[in-house]
Amino acid sequence: MTEHRTRVDVGIVGGGPAGLMTALLLKRRGISAAVIETRTKDTIHHTQRAGILEAATVNMLVDAEVGSRVLTAGHEHEGTVLSFDGEAHRIDFQALVGRSVWLYPQNEVFFDLANAWEREGGEIHWAVTDTQVHDVETAAPRISFTDAAGQERGIEADLIVGTDGSRSMCRKLIPEQVRTDHFISYPFAWFGILCEAPPTAPELIYANSELGFALISQRNETVQRMYFQCDPDTDPQSWSEDAIFDHIQAVLGHEGGVQLKRGPIIEKTVLPFRSYVCDPLSHGRLALAGDAGHTVPPTGAKGLNLAFADVRALVPCVEEFIAELRAGRAETGSGAPGSGAPGSGESVSVIETPAALRRYSRTALDRVWKAQNFSYWATNLLHRHPEENPFTHRRRRGEFDAITGSVHGQAYFADSYTGWSD
C-alpha cells in the first residue's frame, strides 16, 4: 500500500489538551501543524478526569478562542479548605494572592480544544495505530502511522512535539546517554469515586487524619468526585458504598465538621501515582511537553496546568526556530514548507539541538521542579505513610499549624496552588 504523505512545520504526537493547545497557538502564529492520536475523540471526552485550572490556564483557553464554556460551565474557587483531625482552615486565595482557580474537568478542556481545532480545519488523525517517529536527530524528522481507515500515512515536518502522555513513545527517542530520568514512587494511591449527589461543600476540602488523606472535590451540581488514600493494590470492588462514605467521613471528622452528601456511586477507580521528570525536554528536532516529560502526584493540582505552562514556554521558542529556518531557506533558495520534502540544502546527518529548543527545555524545567517540590511537599503533608508512628503524625500536625496559623504560610500555599507567573 502506498503511504500518503503530508508536510507541515510541526508534527504533534498526542491529541490531548497539551498537543491541541500547542497546535492552536502555533496556527495563530502562522505555523502549520498536524496532530495524531491513538484514542478516539469520544473515548478521551468520556474518560472522567478531574480539573482544577489555574488562572493562567483559563486565560490560555479564552485567548485561544476555544469557546467560553470554561467561564460559563466552570466554577471559580476563590479558596480551598485544609482540614487536619477534623479542624478546618480556609485558605483565601483572593485575599492572599489576588488569584482564583477554576473547577473545570480536563476532559471538557480537551473537548473544547478538539472542537476548536476541527472548526479551523486543522489536520488531526484519531485512532491511529503503528505510530513511529523517525530521524529526530536529523533536519528531516517524520511520523509514520496507519489511520483509522487503514491507510498508511506519513507526516514530514521540521520539528516533532511529543505530547503523548506518561507512557510516551517520543520520550524514548532521547538516547539514554543523553536523558536523565528522575522519579520517585509513593507507597499509597487514591481511591476515587464519582457519586450522584449535590456538592458537600462550595470549595475543595483537603483532609488529613490518623486514617490518612481524603479529598472532597466536585464535578457539577449533581455528580461529585471524592478520593481517599489507599494501598496501590486495593481492589475497588472490595469496598461497599457505605464503607467508602463512612471512611471519608471519619477522615473529615464527625463532630461539628462537614457532613458528606451521599448518593449512588457510579464509578470506582484506584489511581497510583509517582513523581517523574525527564531532563532534557528537547533533543535534536524533538521537544516534549506535558506528561510526556514529567508527571506529578495529583495533590497539588499541577498536572494539566504544568502541561499548559510547557506550551506557553514552547510556542515562542518554536516560532523563533521556524523563523530562523524560513530565513535560511529564503537566503539559499532551498525547499520551503509544502514542497513535500526537506530543502535540498538541509542535511540528513545528525544535528545539534537548536538553541531555541534548548532554551525551552531550561525554561520549562525551572517551573517543573518548582511544581514537583510543591506537589511532593503537599502530598507528604496530607498523606499518612505506612508504618509511621505517633511522632510522625504529631510532627505533621505541627507543620499544618505552621502553614495555616501564619499569613505567610497560607500565602505560600495559595501562591503555589494558584500558579506562579511565568
Task: Read off the amino acid at residue 118.
Answer: E
The secondary structure of residue 344, as a DSSP letter, is T
What nine digits make up the cell of 390?
A: 505517633
Contact partners, residue 66, CB within 8 Å, separation at least 6 = 24, 112, 113, 115, 116
Distance from chain centroid for Cα 249: 29
Q: Are 58 and 102 a contacting pair, CB within 8 Å?
A: yes
Active-site position among 27, 77, 125, 383: 77
List the beta bridge partners of residue 294. Answer: 277
Q: Give the residue from 76, 109, 105 showing the smallest Cα distance to 93.
A: 76
Reduce the DSSP state of residue 266 to 3 states and report it. strand
Instruction: Select which of 247, 268, 283, 302 is catalytic.
Output: 302
Residue 302 known to be catalytic: yes
Half-sphere exposure of residue 81, counting CA atoms within 13 Å on the CB side? 19
Residue that the C-alpha cell 489538551 belongs to? 17
Is 298 known to be catalytic?
Answer: yes
Residue 344, all three cell numbers:
535540498
User: CB-side exposure of 360: number of CA atoms within 13 Å?
Assistant: 29
- Omega within 30 of 0 (cis) for the link into 280: yes
Half-sphere exposure of 197 (CA within 13 A, CB side): 22
Active site residue 376: no
Per annotation, catalytic residue among 104, 186, 206, 227:
206
In whole angstroms, give the CA distance from residue 325 to residue 381.
48
- Burial of residue 301 (CB within 10 Å: 0-12, 13-18, 19+) is buried
Question: How far separated are the first and last CA of the chain, in Å rounded?
Answer: 48
User: 55-63 vs 303-332: helix axis angle to the nearest 10?
Assistant: 40
**Rounded to whole angstroms, what are the CA distances from 109 to 26, 50, 170, 310, 346?**
18, 11, 23, 16, 38
What are the residues facing 183 on neighbouring strands?
Answer: 276
Choosing from 105, 297, 298, 354, the catalytic residue is 298
Residue tagged active-site, from 104, 227, 276, 417? 417
* Helix (H), strand (E) at residue 318: helix 303-332
Catalytic residues: 77, 206, 298, 302, 417
